[in-house]
Amino acid sequence: MAFKGDLKNIGLFDVFQNLLHNRLCGTLHVEAREGERWVAFEEGHIRMLSLGRGKGLPMRGFLVQRNYVDRKALEKLLAKRGKSRRLLHDLLARAGLLSVEDFQACVEERIGEELFELLSWKNAQFEFLEGPPPNGIFDMSQKSLPIALDPSGLLMEGARRQDEWERIRTVITGDHDLFVALGEEAPMDSDGAMVWNALDGRSDLAQLYEEIPLGHFELAETIARLVQEGYARPVVPSELPDLARQALDEGDAQRARSLLEKSLELQRNNKELREILAEVLETLGDAKEAAANWAWLASQASQEEDDQRALELFLRAADLDPVDIGIWERIFDLQESLGDSHDFEVAALDLARQFELLGLGERSMETLERALDRPDLSLQESLLLRLADLSRSCGRGEEGLGRCLLAAESMDREGCKDAALHLLEGLAQLFPGRKEVEGALEDLRSHKREKRMALRRRLLRVSLMAIGGAVLSLVLTSELVFRARLGRSLEMLGPNLGKGRALEALGDLDALRARAGFSLSGWKLERLRKGVLKAGVAEAEALEGVGLHKAAVAKAKVLLGALPVKDPLRVRLARIVSPR
C-alpha cells in the first residue's frame, strides 16, 4: 500500500501510528526545507534511517561526540583500514573499542535523535513506498544489524520533547546564545555538573553541542534548567565586545569572530566592533567577508565627509576582494573628488580593467573618457592608448584613433614632442598599416610639421608687415589731403571773421572735421573751432550791444547748439537768449 501527503494536513505521529498499526513494510520518504529523511519499516517497526541518497546514517562523529569511542583511536583504526571494505562495527569490535551490541545501541540512539527532530517538521511532503527499500539510500552497517525499533516509545518521547521545547525556548533563542555559570558549587546531577562546568560565557550553544556528549535536546533542556534554578544566566549583549577582545588576546580568532558577529547583530552601526571584525576576518583568511566590512566602514566615512579615510578603507577592501566592481567605482569617485591627477589616472585604469573583465567594454570606455575630460589628464598617454585599444575592441576604432591623433598634435604643438612620438608609436601597434598614423609619425620624425609651422609664422609676419604698411600709407595720404583742405579753410577764416561771419567759418570747420578721417592733425581743428566759437559769442554780444536783439538771439541759439554742455561760453550766450 503506497500513499503520500502533506504534513500540513496530517502529522508524522499519525503516519507512524498507521504504519505500526497495519504492520507495513516499506520506506517513508520525507522532504522539507530542512532536508530529507528516509525511514525503512519492517512489520511496522523502524528498521533503518538515512539522511539522504548516498549519505546513510553517519556514525563516526556521533561516536566521538558522545564519548563512545576515543577520537584518536578511531582515526588510527580508520587509517589502518585503508581501502578495506570491512564494516565500521566489525572494525571496532575486532579492535576492542566497541562491541557489536554496543554499536547497535549507538545506532538506535542516533536513529532516535534523528526521529525526534523529524517529528518536529511541520512544512514537508511525505510518501510511503511499500516493498524493499530503494538502492543507494541506507548504509551497509544498518542493513547488517538486526535493528527493529518500536515507534510507540519514540512517539511518546517525541511528544514530550515537543512540549518541553516550549519551556526551553523561554531561555534559549538560538544556537549562538551564550551562557555563564553562576555560583561556586555545581549542581548535584552529573549532566548538570558537566554542562555547568562548560558554561564559560564564550562558547555558544552550537559549540557546546560539539563539545558536550549530550544530544541537542538534552543539552538545551539542561541549560534551561540551570538558568531557571539559578546556576547560570544568559550573557547580555553589552558583554559581547569584551568577550570578543578577550578571545583575541587569547589567540582564539574564530571564537572572537563568532562573538563579534553576534554583537553586530545587535549593534549594527558600531564602527569599532566592525573594524575589529574586519581585522579578525583578515587573520582567518576570509578575504571576501573582510572586504565587505572594510567597504561598510568606508561608506560610513564617506557619509561623514571624511573622503581620505574612506579612500584608504576602500583601497584595503579592494586588495582583499579585487573582483568587487562596486568597490572600484567608489575608489574612482573618491580619487576624482580628491583631485590628485596621478591617483585618479590609476583609479580610472583600474576601474576600466574591472569593467573589461566583466565584458562591459562600453562602461570601460566611459570611465576612461571621464578621466580624459579633466584638463590635467586630457593628454595622458596611458589613458589615450587604453581608450584607443578598447574602442577598437568595441567596434569604435575610428573614434578612439581620431581622439588620439588630435591629442598627439596638441602634444607636439605644446612642445611635448617625445610624448607625441610615443603616443603615435603606440597607435601604430594598435592600428598597423593606418596611413594617417604613419603620416603623423613621418611628419613628427622629419620635423615637417615644425617646418610648416615656421613657414606659417614667416607668412604671418609678412602679412602683418604688409597690412601695417597699407595702414600707414592710408594715414599719410589722409593727412596730406586734410592739410590741403585745412590750408584752404584757413585762407577763408580770416576774412569771414573780419566780416562778422563766425557761423559760416564754424560750418566750414565742422565740414572739414567730418572729412578728417585718419588724419594725425585733426586735433588742430578743435583749437581753431574753439577760437571761432569765442569770436561768434563776441559777435552776438556786439549785436546785442547795438540793439539788434533778434539777430543776437538767433546767432546765440546756433552757437549754443555747437557748444559742449559744460562749456563756460554758454553762460554768456544764456544772458543774450534769456528774455529781459
Sorting pLDDT into bands at 50, 70 and 90, what band is 310?
A: very high
Kind of pairing between the strands at 124-130 and 26-32: antiparallel
Tell me the CA distances in angstroms from 165 to 172, 325, 471, 507, one per residue in order. 10, 46, 109, 123
What confidence tens digit (pLDDT) does each residue in 73-82 have?
999 998 888 7
Sorting pLDDT into bands at 50, 70 and 90, what band is 132?
A: very high
CA count, 13 A, side-chain hemisphere, 534: 7
What confidence tens digit (pLDDT) does each residue in 432-443 have?
888 888 888 887
Judge whether residue 498 has pLDDT over 70: no
Distance CA 538, CA 318 (A): 96
| Phi–psi pair at 169, nearest 5 degrees | -70, -10
Highest-confidence segment of 15-24, 79-88, 195-204, 386-395: 15-24
The sheet with strand 35-42 has its strands ordered as: 3-6, 124-130, 26-32, 35-42, 45-50
- For 424-434, letters b (16+ CB in 10 Å) and e give bebbeebbeeb
- Over residues 300-317, the mean pLDDT reads 92
Pick the CATH number of 242-451 from 1.10.10, 1.20.1550, 1.25.40, 1.10.3470: 1.25.40
Sorting pLDDT into bands at 50, 70 and 90, what band is 233?
A: very high
- Over residues 320-346, the mean pLDDT reads 89
How many Cβ atoms from other residues are within 10 Å of residue 357's Cβ? 12
Judge whether residue 518 has pLDDT over 60: no
Sorting pLDDT into bands at 50, 70 and 90, what band is 160?
A: very high
Tell me the CA distances in angstroms from 480 to 247, 473, 475, 477, 520, one per residue in order. 106, 11, 9, 5, 10
pLDDT for 54: 86
Judge whether residue 492 has pLDDT over 80: no
Give CA angle at 291 (287, 295), nearest 5°: 175
- In contact, 320 and 313? CB cutoff 8 Å: no
Q: pTM of the entire structure?
A: 0.51
pLDDT above 90 coverage of the chain, percent:
35
Distance CA 294, CA 215 (A): 39
- In contact, 480 and 519? CB cutoff 8 Å: no
pLDDT for 512: 66
Distance CA 238, CA 248 (A): 17
Judge whether residue 127 has pLDDT over 90: yes
DSSP-H helix ranges across 119-150: 140-144
Q: Which residues pair with 396 in a beta bridge?
A: none
- C-alpha cell of 9? 494536513
Distance CA 535, CA 551 (A): 15
Judge whether residue 149 has pLDDT over 90: yes
Q: Which residues pair with 232 in a beta bridge?
A: 181
pLDDT for 330: 92
Mean pLDDT lowest among 20-29, 99-108, 260-269? 260-269
How many Cβ atoms from other residues are within 10 Å of residue 154's Cβ? 18
Sorting pLDDT into bands at 50, 70 and 90, what band is 257?
A: confident
How many Cβ atoms from other residues are within 10 Å of residue 206's Cβ? 13
Sorting pLDDT into bands at 50, 70 and 90, what band is 460?
A: confident
pLDDT for 448: 59
pLDDT for 486: 63
What confidence tens digit (pLDDT) does each residue in 469-491 have?
777 777 677 667 666 666 666 66
Judge whether residue 576 has pLDDT over 80: no
- C-alpha cell of 284? 582567518
Q: Return the SS3 of 79.
A: helix
Distance CA 508, CA 517 (A): 16
Mean pLDDT lowest among 176-180, 209-213, 235-239, 399-403? 235-239
End-to-end CA distance of the chain: 143
What confidence tens digit (pLDDT) does each residue in 398-456 have?
888 888 888 888 888 887 888 888 888 888 888 888 888 888 888 777 765 665 666 67
Judge whether residue 329 has pLDDT over 70: yes
- Over residues 484-506, the mean pLDDT reads 66
Mean pLDDT lowest among 199-203, 308-312, 408-412, 521-525? 521-525
The sheet with strand 232-234 has its strands ordered as: 200-204, 178-181, 232-234
Judge whether residue 237 has pLDDT over 70: yes
| Phi–psi pair at 45, nearest 5 degrees | -95, 155
Mean pLDDT for the chain?
85
Judge whether residue 504 has pLDDT over 80: no
Give CA angle at 55 (51, 61), nearest 5°: 85
What confidence tens digit (pLDDT) does each residue in 80-103 have?
887 778 899 999 999 999 999 999
> How is the chain split into domains, by residue range?
3-165, 170-235, 242-451, 473-577
Write out 490-523 in H/E/C secondary structure.
Answer: HHHHHHHHHCCCHHHHHHHHHHHHHCCCCCCCHH
Tell me the CA distances in angstroms from 41 to 1, 5, 159, 334, one per residue in order. 13, 18, 20, 66
- C-alpha cell of 220? 538545551
Distance CA 234, CA 572 (A): 113
What confidence tens digit (pLDDT) does each residue in 161-207 have?
988 988 999 899 888 788 999 988 889 899 999 999 999 887 888 88
- In contact, 555 and 540? CB cutoff 8 Å: yes
Tell me the CA distances in angstroms from 580 to 508, 554, 557, 574, one per residue in order. 33, 15, 16, 11
Provide DSSP, 256-301. HHHHHHHHHHH-TT-HHHHHHHHHHHHHHT-HHHHHHHHHHHHHHH
Assign 3-state DSSP to the chain and report helix, strand, coil percentages, each to 5: 65, 10, 25
